Structure 1
Amino acid sequence: MYTQCPECLSVFSVDARTLAQAHGFVMCGHCGAGFDCIGTLADQLPPEPFTELPSHEPGVEPPRVDLVVYRPQPKTAQAAVANPVSGPHDDFANLIVAPRFARDQRIERPRRWPWTMACVLLLLGLAAQLAWALRDTLIADANTGPLLQQACTILRCTLPPVRDVDKLHLLARDVQTHPTVPNALLISATLRNDAAFTQPWPVVMIRLSDANGKVLAMRRLNPYEYLDDIEQLRHGLAPGASTALIFEVEDPGRQAVAFDLGFE
């Protein structure tokens, strides 16, 4: 294809790519004038000599396209489709509706029952340790002691023995020469438990002294040394019970004129 500059009448060869890139407007390479090359566009050169190219006029009408693929809608129509019921005075225009799946989900709350159970168990353990540390006081108490004894009877358990030597009273005592063993003394004593609970058998301390109060001999006797009955030793001395104790000791001589019994 050919085109001609209307100023200097220079003829140039052009192609479709150049026309599409320039949108039909080019500049003359000879005189520098700009012009619309489509007006003088020709397929062939006329016979020489020539001064001007024939003007380019479309021979047919431009084709008409009717198959619509997409047509943009007006803004007013788009707003009406997006919010068909809202108006300028609609109070619920900004209402946000949660999706159904969001409404169906339940709020996960932290589980507190494990911590509650752990705290309860710790409190029970602390109470048990405190009760064990104060077991002697609780068993010896006139109010809690019988309750603990009843509970232990139901549970078939045995309360630990509580010792309170101040509640052991010596009702009677006597000393004499042993009737069968030479150089030995036979000491007897009657003991009563005035406590409200069962006490273990005490450790008995015997002291022999002269007329001036000087201790000539002393002996500590454990319960298994003066009791032969194992069952009686295991059950202890019941509350309010009285018992007679007999002790065989070596005679320290004629200077021993007094004796004393103590409990530990």
Structure 2
Amino acid sequence: MEITCPRCESTFSVEAKALQQHHYQVKCGVCQHVFQVNPDDETSAAGAHLGQRLGRYLLLLIIFLLILALIGQILWSTGVYSYAANSAPIRRAMIQSANTLGTQISWPGPNREMRIVDSHVTALDNHLAEITGKMENLAGHVQAYPVIQVTLSNVYGAPIAHLQFTPKEYLAKPEESISGFLSHTPVQFSIKSPKLIAAAGYQVTLLSQP
């Protein structure tokens, strides 16, 4: 147990058995003061000291967690996490964590530095059409998938319709939109819809999303 000298307040540990053998009378090794020890008082003091230490540890833990939360908020607000997500293991860990929490990762936008690599129009039955192609994210970080806009024009080049398609409509595997648009990795898209009718001209563009 720990005892404290009443004169110099030095604290040191002694065995309870040794105290009993010396009838609870001890001599301070610092100031040489001889005093009587009350076992009950020392036990209460030891409990108080333990409570103080636990309180300090709890306070340090709370401060540590607050610092971690602040760092996380800074990383989230600045979109730094989208650069780290270029690493497949980190991205998988992020997505698994989000799934565990029952949420989805909000990949940064507006979408910039994206381009259509190529696109092809195929005529279908019933005066419909299908547009296929690839698009690429040229940024150095993972972004949210854009909305694809298709502008239909007549033989005179005048627009007759503006159609918009979300990632879930043009990706072969709609669930891939959750993983984000990877950097420098061309992605196939396919647009087939009753709204996409045969026209004299088609213009495919990527719309920036907030």
Distance 1:116 1:211, change over 3 A: farther
Partner of 2:80: 138
Identity over the aligned pairs, expressed in percent? 12
Indicate how the Cα distance of structure 1 residues 241 and 216 shifts in structure 2: closer, same or farther if over 3 A, else same.
same
- Greater strand proportion: 2
CA contact (8 A) 2:148 2:204 kept: no
Give TM-score scaled by structure 1 length: 0.45
Structure richer in helix, relative to its length: 2
Offset from partner CA, 1:82-110 (integer Å, 9 cap, x none): xxxxxxxxxxxxxxx97721699769575
SS in 2 for 1:261: strand
Distance 1:124 1:138 in 2: 21
Cα displacement (A) at 1:223: 1.9
Q: Which residue of the partner structure matches residue 65 of structure 2? A: 125
Bigger Rg, which one: 1
1:220 to 1:158, Cα distance in 2 relative to 1, 3 A: farther
SS at match of 2:36: helix
2:35 to 100, 103, 124: 100
| Equivalent residue, structure 1, for 2:116 | 170
Question: Pairwise mapping of residues 28-47 of structure 1 onto structure 2 (< 5 A)?
Answer: none
Q: Does 1:206 align with 2:150?
A: yes
Match of 2:184 among 228, 240, 252: 240
Q: Distance in 2 between matches of 1:147 and 1:217?
A: 37
Which residue in 2 is equivalent to 1:183? 127
- How many residues of Structure 1 are paired with residues of Structure 2 in the alignment? 161
- Tell me: CA distance 1:155–1:242, structure 2 relative to 1, closer, same or farther (3 Å): closer
1:161 touches 1:199 (CA, 8 Å); kept in 2? no
How far apart are residue 241 of structure 1 and its match?
A: 1.0
Match of 2:123, SS state, is: coil
Q: Is the Cα contact below 8 Å between 1:152 and 1:158 reproduced in 2? A: no
How far off is 1:152 after superposition? Answer: 6.6
Letter in 1 for 2:36: F
Secondary structure at the aligned position of 1:162 is classed as coil
Show the counterpart of 1:261: 205
Query: Is contact 1:226-1:245 (8 Å) kept?
Result: yes
d(CA) in 1 for partners of 2:185, 2:86: 20
Q: Which runs of 5+ in 1 are unaligned?
A: 1-96
For residues 93 and 188 of structure 2, what CA distance do their matches in structure 1 show? 32
Residues 148 and 244 from structure 1, CA distance in 2 versus in 1: closer, same or farther, beyond 3 angstroms? closer
Which piece of structure 1 moves more, 207-216 or 244-253? 207-216
Matched to 2:134, the amino acid is T
Query: Structure 2 unaligned runs (5+)?
Result: 1-31, 99-104
Q: Secondary structure at the match of 2:161?
A: strand
The structure with higher relative contact order (CA 8 Å, sep 6+) is: 2
The structural deviation recorded for 1:229 is 2.6
Q: In the alignment, residue 115 of structure 2 is paired with which amino acid?
A: H
